[in-house]
Amino acid sequence: MGHSLHRTVVPDLGSAEQRGVHRNALLIPEALPLLTLATGPGESVIRGNAVPADPDWQADDFIDALTRKLIEKVANGEQLESHCHRLALMASLLGVQLGLSPSDMLSLRRGAYLHDIGKIGIPPAILLKRGPLDKREWRIMKKHPAIGEHICRDLPSLRDVLPIIRSHHERWDGTGYPDGLRGEEIPLLARITQIADIYDALTTERPYKCAFAPEKALEIIQEEGERGWRDPSLVQCIQNLFPVFKTLPPENASSFSLQSLAEVVKQRKWS
């Protein structure tokens, strides 16, 4: 990720009003200064004049810069980075089991790093709060999918990642946010990212909770499936891959080819 000789200028999101996008479209006016992604007046996170010949380089540089920006903002940046790596791996395993195309697999991996990127626009007092959020704070926190979509929408290479960013907090029964989508209205890649994200969140320590054992995490996901919150077919996928999910992957797992991941899925164990 990152090609130092091939940089591109990211549109200055702080000029949204000049581009005909009203501040209220971002829903959180106080988030606008953060959405410039600026290191100084008029400076973008990614600088330079050379537009890469390969749009995937542009996308990867953009993802790298945004992820670094979010890591800088949160107190546990190292944990966040590890979370993204694990999420990319788990989502990829689920994608292989479902027989997704290579292009969808690439979107899944990118979505693992960008799904919560809208939290760049959430005030630190809310984002880093250790206790439960009050109603006003929760309303603000729930804006991060729309903010993330806004940040990434101008890069054509990320077009297929936008539904992951916007819809990974929807619920199967329609009680999620931001759009109240239900069932298969929720994009499949968003559903995959969500269930992998939930499993990782349950099995790792967070400021507001201890880590659950893998068996307990699976039990909670199954209960949420029975409650109507999760896609039943993906709950089944998690159950099928549980022997893999509950064990630590090898250190080089993030570099596994699709063929290697397919073998892991087939054997239900790390090779």
Which of the following is catalytic: 69, 73, 119, 143? 119
User: What is the separation, in whole angstroms, between the first and last Cα of the chain?
Assistant: 26
Q: Cα separation of 118 and 150, whole Å?
A: 8
**229 contacts 175 by C-beta, under 8 angstroms:** yes
* Nearest CA among 88, 87, 106, 92 for reference residue 160: 106
**119 in catalytic set:** yes
Q: Cα separation of 26 and 31, whole Å?
A: 8
Q: Please give the distance of CA 239 from its chain centroid, rounded to a whole number.
A: 22
Q: How many CB atoms lie within 10 A of CB 90?
A: 24
Residues involved in catalysis:
119
